[in-house]
Amino acid sequence: MNIGSRSWHAHAKINLALHVTGRRPDGYHLIESLAVFTRFGDRVEIALADNDDFVVSGRYAPEVPLGASNLVLRARDALRQAVGQERTPPVAIRLEKNLPVASGVGGGSSDAAAVLRGLAEIWTLDIDGTALARIGLSLGADVPMCLAAKPLVARGIGDELSMVPDFSALGLVLVNPGTPVSTAEVFAALSRRDNEALPPLPRSIDFHSLRNWLEITRNDLEPAALAMQPAIGRALSWLNKAGSGFSRMSGSGATCFGLFETGNVAKRAAAEIRGRQPDWFVAATRSIASEGADGQS
């Protein structure tokens, strides 16, 4: 990569709970979701260059579209259009694609968020978080939450964000059995869209109170995704067998997460699952704590 390049993390988004509460007349679904973001994710490297350039590396590079539909390029072009050509000189962007594609962890949205954050710095733009989130929303409903990348509750179409304070880092294992799932198809297959809102969060969030709270919540997309891809059930049972305190599918799947009391226990569980399912995507990681919260799990 060019001299002077810098890099930004594109975190995986994990929907710890996701309730589908309605549908707008324009077809967008209304949701309520508690989401966290993991240290494991993609990486975006950017440098000023003579000409615009875009390359993709990493395990999942072959599955990423390289043309104008890539959210990296859409984010670059949307920001350039918003602030003007003269302030946005050519850039070389490298995407290291570590997250499985179409897997319910918002990889594309998170890449777009990393590009917006990165380019705002590289181009030394005087642009605030609200303006960046507005541009992000034009690219996808999940981009504003990926820009925030801290524990939060998302409502509306996923763009109305309330940050959750005092939320420590969690030990997580992510497992994907290698079956891409179309978000649109999962939403289309829902049997009902008027489910109840999320219950109030515990006053003090720790591993045990969170687990109890998760037991009374759902991912409303899980039954439909499971019917389309039975391998999701196998991913969940491997997480349970490896000692997860709580396991569920994230987003529209097929990635599932397991909650572990410490990062070390998560690492051991991931090694065990990887040993049994060498072709699956398996990652032990920690979530990003909220501002001022204890970063240890």
Q: Let me know: does 171 contact 260? Beta carbons within 8 Å.
A: yes
Stretch that binds ligand ATP, among 63-71, 149-157, 257-265, 284-292 (CB under 6 A): 63-71
174 binds ligand ATP (CB under 6 A): no
Stretch that binds ligand ATP, among 105-113, 147-155, 191-199, 275-283 (CB under 6 A): 105-113
Chain residue at closest Cβ approach to ligand ATP: 108
61 binds ligand ATP (CB under 6 A): no
| Least CB distance to ligand ATP at residue 32 (A) | 16
Look at residues 131, 142, 130, 60 and name the one whose alpha carbon lies nearest to residue 95.
Answer: 60
247 binds ligand ATP (CB under 6 A): no
Look at residues 125, 139, 54 and name the one whose alpha carbon lies nearest to residue 91.
Answer: 54
| Least CB distance to ligand ATP at residue 247 (A) | 18
65 binds ligand ATP (CB under 6 A): yes
36 is in an annotated binding site: no
Handedness of CA 182, 69, 95, 156 (dihedral sign): negative
138 is in an annotated binding site: no
91 binds ligand ATP (CB under 6 A): no
Q: Let me know: does 278 contact 292? Beta carbons within 8 Å.
A: no
115 binds ligand ATP (CB under 6 A): no
Lookup result for tokens 């204890």: 294
189 binds ligand ATP (CB under 6 A): no
In 3-state terms, what secondary structure has residue 83? helix
158 binds ligand ATP (CB under 6 A): no
User: The tokens of 264 are what?
Assistant: 């070390």
106 binds ligand ATP (CB under 6 A): yes
Tell me how many degrees the CA angle 262-149-102 measures, rounded to the nearest 5: 90
Lookup result for tokens 């709270």: 213
User: The tokens of 193 are what?
Assistant: 């869209």
Catalytic residues: 13, 142
How many residues touch ligand ATP under the rule CB under 6 A: the total is 21
Burial tier of 134 (Cβ tally within 10 Å: 0-12, 13-18, 19+): middle
245 is in an annotated binding site: no
Binding site for ligand ATP (CB under 6 A): 64-65, 69-72, 101-109, 111, 140, 142, 183, 251-252
